[in-house]
Structure 1
Amino acid sequence: MFVLFVKCSILCCLVKYGEPARILGVFPMSSGSHHILVYKLMKGLADAGHDITMVTPYEQENMPKTKGNYSEIILDEMRELISAQHKNLDLFNMGKQNMAVMMPLLITIFGRNINNTLHHPKVRALLSSNEKFDAVIVEHFMADVMKIFPSVFNCPLILLYSMGPNSWINPSVGNPQEISYARHLYSRGNNAVPMTFFDRIINVLYHVFDYLLNTFYYHPLCDKLLRNAYPGVPDTKSLAPNASLVLLNSHTSLYPAHPLVPNMVEIGGYHVDPPGKLPKDLQEFLDNAKDGAVYFSMGSNLKSKLMSEERKKIILNVLGRLKQKVIWKFEEELPGKPDNVLIKKWLPQQDILAHPNIRLFITHGGLLSTTETVYHGVPILAIPVFGDQPGNAEKAEYAGYALKLGYHDENFTEENLEKSILELLNNPKYRENAQRRSKLFHDRPMKPMDTAIYWVEYVIRNNGAQHLRIAGADQAWYEYYLVDVVLFLLACLVVVFEISKFVLKKAFLVVRSKLSPKQKLKTK
């Protein structure tokens, strides 16, 4: 009887664990590299057999063949609106500004997209439907209002974050804000290098500014948009810390070590596919690169054609003097292109980096590109422009597999660019360090996509996995940092001091009054 009971229990567990889940992915504003991340995750879950619905402005040209069901709710016209916004943004010039200056502008821009999403007929129809979902996945990037979806569908919220742990994502699950040694995202300093006393002062000020910006501008804007679209819904302050799971696009081979709460999981590199076959022209070009080849790309959002003419001239002059062949992702014809340079509007980056003749990757320092170069063990020259790119470049330089030459740096000269490239090509230590980082990247108990799938399924199996949630996620900042306790103890010390002072003063007066008659008698 006991054996039968055990067999039945195991069978029930297997059936429960094998059931496909209905998962909704809400990604109305992801573009470029962000869309790559969200699509890869949702496709991976569909490949695992789950029923996936993805809300997105970007329709797949070729729908993936998956074990589970994969469908899309396309937000018509949103893609055009986002593309128009990107055309009006000069990302190269924006990079001159500090992130703290840029953030109010970005919040305003994203606010328009949020408003358009909330009022979109397909979104309204979905939220008012009787659909049932086991979990909702939202990209945590200025999309706090999208956390209304799990509230409406009464299911766990899973956040996908395109970076590692920082002040933007930590409050969602109560992850420690290590202000004393982890630089704020706005900071241009190296996260891997210990901060000086003055660095820590600046770091505190950045955190205070970020808190004030969110409290008095970003969250009120989100609340206003939510109330206008759906009166009576919870405000973003109550929605923000309700995540059951955070999936981080990071790994300790790329990021300095940070503390992570149990429901915050690193899956950096899950978007990287095994190397595929290169197009014939690229394969021949790289195969014939006897002295090796250099790959150059500024990513999906930055367009090389929009570089200043001065920067283009400097880069072309240097590349033309190299004995290596060069592949440059460039979006239009390039007058004066040297014979050793091949340009293409689109390139299969991961497959190119996998080619054994690639000696160097010149990149903007985006996290996806940095992840892919570590995956393949290729050293990089980082030319960061804005956002997290300077920080990524500094981490890579500190780890020893990169050099950094900022796009806006005053020392961005022909001489310094050539010096950096030749140092990376001729000094074997950079490739050795890149290969060492690659080994760390691959040395995991599970592949990153398998890790992501496991934890999504774990949260669904355990109805939100509330047992992983730490109590600090529900505390106000002054409770979390014991500010109220410290102020109370200081107040107690002041009270004790004042009482002691009062008692001593009274005692002194009593003693003095008793001594005074005797003193008078002696004088007589």
Structure 2
Amino acid sequence: MEPVARHALGPAQISAQFPDLPPLLDIERNQSLTLMNTHFSITTPVPLLPSQVEVGAMNCRPAKPLPQDLEAWIAGAGSAGVIYFSLGSVARGETMPPQYRQVFVEAFRRLPQRVLWKYEGELEGVSDNVRISSWLPQQDVLAHHNVKVFISHGGLLSLQESVYHNTPLLVLPIFGDQPKNAMFVENSGLGHMLVWEELTADSIVDALTDIVSSPRYKDNVAAMSASLRDQLTTPQELAVFWTEYVIRHRGAPQLRCPAAQLSWVEFLMLDVVGLLLLVLLLLLFLFRRLLLAVSAALLGGGGKKKRD
């Protein structure tokens, strides 16, 4: 799968586009609030400042009823269930190299489940258990009790929606943060990760079969989903409250960490480290002089006794 090219602008390019913009370091030090698209339930817990507010899964919402024909098709899969396959909105289906496309077509033909495949464009050779659509209401699909696995590229929003709606994952990362998210899925027992370069029909079938047949993946997602949903207020309300708090308190300087105004030498305490190293060297020097003095005294005293 070929990723879409993305070019990050450096400070020089940003300054050229916005000549009146203050230096980026000044902007970084002057920020009043950071809304972070994370939550400790779905990432590694870290200590945060009062000005750093987690609003992860703000994109998630309760499910809405599916269109009648789609509801009937998913429910009609019976106990075998449905596999939902989508690579997001950036990596379009028709850009998938033909060899990978054929691998999926072959793998889906061998599955007992129905497969709902978000794919833009025409796709020939698919089996009768596969339904193609250029757009699907993803969260409503993921929330359906008969959807067993979500085959995803591992984008952060898709990961959050899958956990929120309690659906295990098979992740095929393409670019950006997706490989890291895929490793999180694998290590957290939420599903499996596959690599495009090693993709085969057998590996897809084996991974999906394991996820569907082993209850531990569903149990792990359910536990994480319960933690993610168990919040005092919604992420949207939290973001609104803290945004309005900053406005009400005219930038809320009381939220800012004083360390933001320190230079990198002060922040890393290099002056303290330098002083400690200097003291250590001085102690080593004094200890060496003491050893030399003791050695000279012992050797000198031994030689004198021998002459006597």
The Cα shift of 1:475 comes to 2.2
What residue number does 2:42 align with?
254
1:287 has 2:61 as partner: no
The Cα shift of 1:481 comes to 2.7
Equivalent positions of 1:421-436 (< 5 A) are 421-436=208-223
What residue number does 1:122 align with?
none
Residue from 103, 115, 140 that aligns with 1:314: 103
What residue number does 2:263 align with?
476
Q: Which secondary structure state, in structure 2, belongs to the residue aligned with residue 435 of structure 1? A: helix
Q: Which secondary structure state, in structure 2, belongs to the residue aligned with residue 271 of structure 1? A: coil
Residue from 14, 22, 25 that aligns with 1:234: 22
Residue from 248, 253, 257 that aligns with 1:461: 248
- Give aligned pairs, total: 302
The Cα shift of 1:407 comes to 2.0
Kept in 2, the 8 Å contact 1:254–1:396? The answer is no
Return the alpha-carbon distance in structure 2 between the equivalents of residues 500 and 419 of structure 1: 66
Return the alpha-carbon distance in structure 2 between the equivalents of residues 486 and 219 of structure 1: 31
Return the alpha-carbon distance in structure 1 between the equivalents of residues 282 and 37 of structure 2: 50
1:443 has 2:235 as partner: no
Return the alpha-carbon distance in structure 2 between the equivalents of residues 419 and 507 of structure 1: 74
The Cα shift of 1:403 comes to 0.8
Choose 452-461 or 362-371, whichever is displaced more.
Answer: 452-461
The Cα shift of 1:235 comes to 1.7
Q: Which secondary structure state, in structure 2, belongs to the residue aligned with residue 444 of structure 1? A: coil
Return the alpha-carbon distance in structure 1 between the equivalents of residues 295 and 212 of structure 2: 82
The Cα shift of 1:484 comes to 2.6
What residue number does 1:354 align with?
143
What residue number does 2:127 align with?
338
Task: Tell me the C-alpha RMSD between the 2 structures.
Answer: 2.7
What residue number does 1:172 align with?
none
- Matched residue type, 2:11: H
How far does the alpha carbon of each residue in 1:150-204 deviate from its partner, in whole angstroms, 9 at most, with x for none? xxxxxxxxxxxxxxxxxxxxxxxxxxxxxxxxxxxxxxxxxxxxxxxxxxxxxxx
Equivalent positions of 1:360-371 (< 5 A) are 360-371=149-160
1:243 has 2:155 as partner: no
Identity %: 35
What residue number does 1:276 align with?
64
Residue from 180, 183, 194 that aligns with 1:394: 183
- Matched residue type, 2:67: P
Return the alpha-carbon distance in structure 1 between the equivalents of residues 170 and 2 of structure 2: 23
Return the alpha-carbon distance in structure 2 between the equivalents of residues 504 and 288 of structure 1: 87
The Cα shift of 1:394 comes to 1.4
What residue number does 2:204 align with?
417
Return the alpha-carbon distance in structure 2 between the equivalents of residues 304 and 477 of structure 1: 46
What residue number does 1:184 align with?
none
How far does the alpha carbon of each residue in 1:364-389 deviate from its partner, in whole angstroms, 9 at most, with x for none? 11111111111110111111111111
1:219 has 2:11 as partner: yes
Return the alpha-carbon distance in structure 2 between the equivalents of residues 276 and 322 of structure 1: 28
Kept in 1, the 8 Å contact 2:2–2:96? The answer is no
Return the alpha-carbon distance in structure 2 between the equivalents of residues 334 and 374 of structure 1: 30
What residue number does 1:141 align with?
none
How far does the alpha carbon of each residue in 1:295-349 deviate from its partner, in whole angstroms, 9 at most, with x for none? 1000111122212211111111111111211111101010111111111111110
Return the alpha-carbon distance in structure 1 between the equivalents of residues 282 and 223 of structure 2: 59
The Cα shift of 1:465 comes to 1.6
What residue number does 2:170 align with?
381
Task: Call closer, same or farther: CA 1:323–1:90 in 2, change over 3 Å.
Answer: closer
Task: Call closer, same or farther: CA 1:502–1:225 in 2, change over 3 Å.
Answer: farther
- Matched residue type, 2:166: G
Kept in 1, the 8 Å contact 2:2–2:174? The answer is no
Q: Which secondary structure state, in structure 1, belongs to the residue aligned with residue 40 of structure 2? A: coil
Residue from 300, 303, 315 that aligns with 2:92: 303
Q: Which secondary structure state, in structure 2, belongs to the residue aligned with residue 294 of structure 1? A: strand
The Cα shift of 1:273 comes to 2.4
How far does the alpha carbon of each residue in 1:197-227 deviate from its partner, in whole angstroms, 9 at most, with x for none? xxxxxxxxxxxxxxxxxxxxx334434444x
Q: Which secondary structure state, in structure 2, belongs to the residue aligned with residue 332 of structure 1? A: coil
Q: Which secondary structure state, in structure 2, belongs to the residue aligned with residue 262 of structure 1? A: coil
After TM superposition, the score normalised by the length of structure 2 is: 0.88
Return the alpha-carbon distance in structure 2 between the equivalents of residues 298 and 234 of structure 1: 38
- Matched residue type, 2:122: E
What residue number does 1:41 align with?
none
Gaps of 5+ in 2: none
Return the alpha-carbon distance in structure 1 between the equivalents of residues 266 and 131 of structure 2: 58
Residue from 365, 372, 391 that aligns with 2:161: 372
Kept in 2, the 8 Å contact 1:296–1:326? The answer is yes
- Matched residue type, 1:394: M
How far does the alpha carbon of each residue in 1:386-414 deviate from its partner, in whole angstroms, 9 at most, with x for none? 11111111112222221111223x3x222
How far does the alpha carbon of each residue in 1:31-82 deviate from its partner, in whole angstroms, 9 at most, with x for none? xxxxxxxxxxxxxxxxxxxxxxxxxxxxxxxxxxxxxxxxxxxxxxxxxxxx
What residue number does 1:36 align with?
none
What residue number does 1:103 align with?
none
Equivalent positions of 1:144-159 (< 5 A) are none
The Cα shift of 1:234 comes to 2.9
Kept in 2, the 8 Å contact 1:393–1:402? The answer is no
Return the alpha-carbon distance in structure 1 between the equivalents of residues 2 and 28 of structure 2: 31
Q: Which secondary structure state, in structure 1, belongs to the residue aligned with residue 89 of structure 2? A: coil
- Matched residue type, 1:449: Q
Task: Call closer, same or farther: CA 1:485–1:221 in 2, change over 3 Å.
Answer: farther
Return the alpha-carbon distance in structure 1 between the equivalents of residues 127 and 263 of structure 2: 59
The Cα shift of 1:499 comes to 6.5
Return the alpha-carbon distance in structure 1 between the equivalents of residues 234 and 74 of structure 2: 29
